[in-house]
């Protein structure tokens, strides 16, 4: 009997040790899972975002600026990287953006934009410059030659040489002619590449010239100087309808060309000249994350000087005007940084924190249920312990000797040891331990009462025997 009990106790103890080991492994597994998830989420949140930016053609100012920008971002930025996609031109770059093959693109503001394109930054402003030659003075002539074309209205019936083969330049000229009251069909247009400046200057069929670029553009300055050598002093043509053009076509802006910007002596131009400008833009898809665009915008202007050291034209990069009703709206990420309305970390991720708290609460509840489920055998064993002690209480009340009571106490001591092990394993809650204590208290009372009864029963027979012996002696 005792051997069987010892074997059962040993097997129960081994089973509890195995379950305790399994529970520890489960806790470790859950801990590693939570740690891995947190580490993965942290890596995902802090890893640099790589944006694909389309720009072209190769070797252009825009391409050089974006190339320098990508290098600066790679060496000095920890949040945004740029992956350069070289296209044949701005039209192709915008097409890549519209097709979803690029996140950003560089294009002229008067080109056809994708439906969801929005402005992020202004790469530069291109000023339209129109001029006509005054003609070369004769060797013996003392009179200063006068230009045949003194204003835009005089262009009717003549030919304009346009620098740059993009259709956007010819389209811009038609807008200017129409706004100035000149029928565009009456003005012929011949386009030249940026490497054909000398050919343009020597072409006798051209009566006026047009260039579109930054005011410090070497191409524009070289073209004006070349035509001056070949055809005489330039006469700059003012666009009197510049404000009207800007109102009707928000993609253009009314501007002024300052005096002497192309040459100091002689001054070209000798006075300010009204004109229009069109911007080269970095545009993004509307769906691009506000946080990502804001990070790109901050980095761009933080590293602008470093970019300009590699590509001097990067000095022209400016912020878009968020207050102006432009045809192309400013992306909300860039606008938030410009206007100072960028959302804080808590504003952006507060909902995620609340969700995480709810998730952790759910995980805690699930863990408690799982623990309760895994410890169901221990709880049943605890009930068995109480029932065993209650059965022993019944045996205590019929015990015939103190030796039996001592054996029962040893049995209960062993049961108490098993119950405490279950409590240490977490299988028994405080309430269940309190119920176990009530049963144990009942057992102790039964032991005390039975011992008192046994002692009283022993004294009575002894006292009766003493009285009988006394009577016998008297006889």
More confident call, 382 vs 208: 208
Of 22-26, 184-188, 208-212, 287-291, the range with the lowest mean pLDDT is 22-26
Please check the confidence at residue 282 and state whether its pLDDT lies above 70.
yes
- 182 and 212 in contact (C-beta within 8 Å)? no
Note the pLDDT tens digit of each residue in 207-262: 999 999 999 999 999 999 999 999 999 999 999 999 999 999 989 999 999 999 99
In 3D space, the residue among 208, 126, 209, 132 whose CA is nearest the CA of residue 168 turns out to be: 126
Please check the confidence at residue 196 and state whether its pLDDT lies above 90.
yes
Please check the confidence at residue 120 and state whether its pLDDT lies above 70.
yes
Mean pLDDT value across residues 273-295: 95
Please check the confidence at residue 464 and state whether its pLDDT lies above 80.
no
Q: How confident is the model at residue 361 (pLDDT cuts 50, 70, 90)?
A: confident
Note the pLDDT tens digit of each residue in 38-93: 656 555 555 689 999 999 999 889 999 999 999 999 988 678 999 999 999 999 99
State the Cα–Cα distance between residues 342 and 296, nearest whole angstrom.
13
| Side-chain-side CA neighbours of residue 24 (13 Å) | 7
The region that residue 416 occupies, defined by phi over 0 for left and psi between -120 and 50 for alpha, beta otherwise, is alpha
Res 398: pLDDT: 86
Q: Domain ranges in the chain? A: 1-42, 120-282, 375-460
Q: How confident is the model at residue 8 (pLDDT cuts 50, 70, 90)?
A: low
- 31 and 24 in contact (C-beta within 8 Å)? no
- What is this structure's pTM? 0.67
Whole-number mean pLDDT of the chain? 84
Angstrom distances, CA of residue 190 to CA of 165, 181, 201, 207, 235: 9, 21, 12, 11, 19
Mean pLDDT value across residues 334-354: 73
Q: Which CATH architecture has domain 120-282?
A: 3-Layer(aba) Sandwich (3.40)
Q: How confident is the model at residue 363 (pLDDT cuts 50, 70, 90)?
A: confident
Please check the confidence at residue 459 and state whether its pLDDT lies above 60.
no
State the Cα–Cα distance between residues 218 and 157, nearest whole angstrom.
30
Please check the confidence at residue 338 and state whether its pLDDT lies above 80.
yes
Res 384: pLDDT: 77
Note the pLDDT tens digit of each residue in 405-440: 888 888 888 888 777 777 766 666 666 677 778 888
């Amino acid at each position: 009997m005792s051997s069987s009990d010892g074997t059962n106790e040993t097997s129960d103890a081994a089973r509890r040790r195995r379950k305790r080991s399994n529970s520890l492994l489960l806790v470790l597994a859950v801990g590693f899972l939570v740690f891995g998830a947190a580490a993965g989420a942290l890596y995902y949140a802090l890893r640099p975002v790589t944006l694909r930016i389309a720009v072209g053609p190769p070797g252009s100012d825009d391409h050089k600026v974006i190339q320098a920008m990508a290098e600066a971002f790679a060496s000095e930025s920890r949040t945004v990287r740029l992956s350069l996609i070289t296209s044949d031109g701005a039209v192709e770059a915008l097409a890549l953006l519209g097709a979803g093959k690029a996140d950003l693109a560089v294009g002229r503001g008067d080109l056809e934009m994708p439906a969801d394109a929005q402005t992020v930054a202004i790469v530069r402003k291109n000023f339209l410059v129109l001029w006509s030659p005054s003609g070369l003075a004769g060797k013996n002539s003392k009179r200063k030659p006068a230009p045949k074309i003194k204003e835009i209205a005089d262009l009717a019936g003549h030919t304009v040489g346009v620098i740059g083969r993009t259709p956007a330049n010819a389209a811009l000229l038609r807008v200017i002619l129409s706004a100035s009251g000149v029928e565009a069909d009456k003005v012929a247009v011949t386009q030249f590449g940026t490497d054909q400046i000398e050919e343009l200057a020597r072409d006798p069929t051209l009566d006026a010239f047009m260039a579109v670029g930054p005011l410090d553009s070497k191409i524009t300055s070289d073209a004006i100087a070349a035509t001056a050598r070949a055809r005489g002093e330039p006469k700059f043509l003012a666009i009197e309808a510049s404000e009207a053009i800007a109102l009707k076509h928000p993609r253009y802006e009314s501007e002024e060309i300052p005096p002497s910007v192309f040459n100091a002596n002689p001054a070209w131009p000798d006075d300010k000249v009204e004109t229009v400008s069109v911007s080269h833009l970095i545009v993004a898809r509307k769906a691009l994350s506000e946080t990502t665009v804001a990070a790109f915008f901050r980095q761009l202007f933080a590293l602008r000087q470093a970019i300009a050291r590699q590509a001097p034209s990067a000095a022209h990069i400016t912020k878009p005007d968020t207050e102006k009703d432009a045809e192309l709206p400013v992306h909300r990420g860039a606008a938030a940084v410009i206007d100072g309305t960028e959302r804080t970390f808590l504003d952006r991720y507060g909902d995620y924190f609340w969700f995480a708290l709810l998730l952790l609460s759910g995980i805690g509840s699930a863990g408690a249920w799982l623990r309760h489920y895994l410890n169901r055998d221990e709880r049943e064993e605890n009930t068995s312990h109480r029932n065993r002690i209650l059965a022993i209480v019944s045996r205590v009340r019929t015990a015939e000797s103190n030796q039996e009571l001592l054996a029962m106490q040893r049995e209960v001591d062993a049961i108490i040891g098993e119950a405490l092990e279950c409590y240490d394993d977490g299988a028994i809650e405080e309430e269940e331990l309190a119920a176990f204590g009530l049963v144990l208290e009942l057992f102790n009372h039964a032991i005390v009462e039975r011992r008192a009864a046994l002692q009283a029963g022993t004294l009575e027979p002894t006292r009766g025997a003493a009285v009988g012996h006394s009577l016998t002696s008297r006889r």
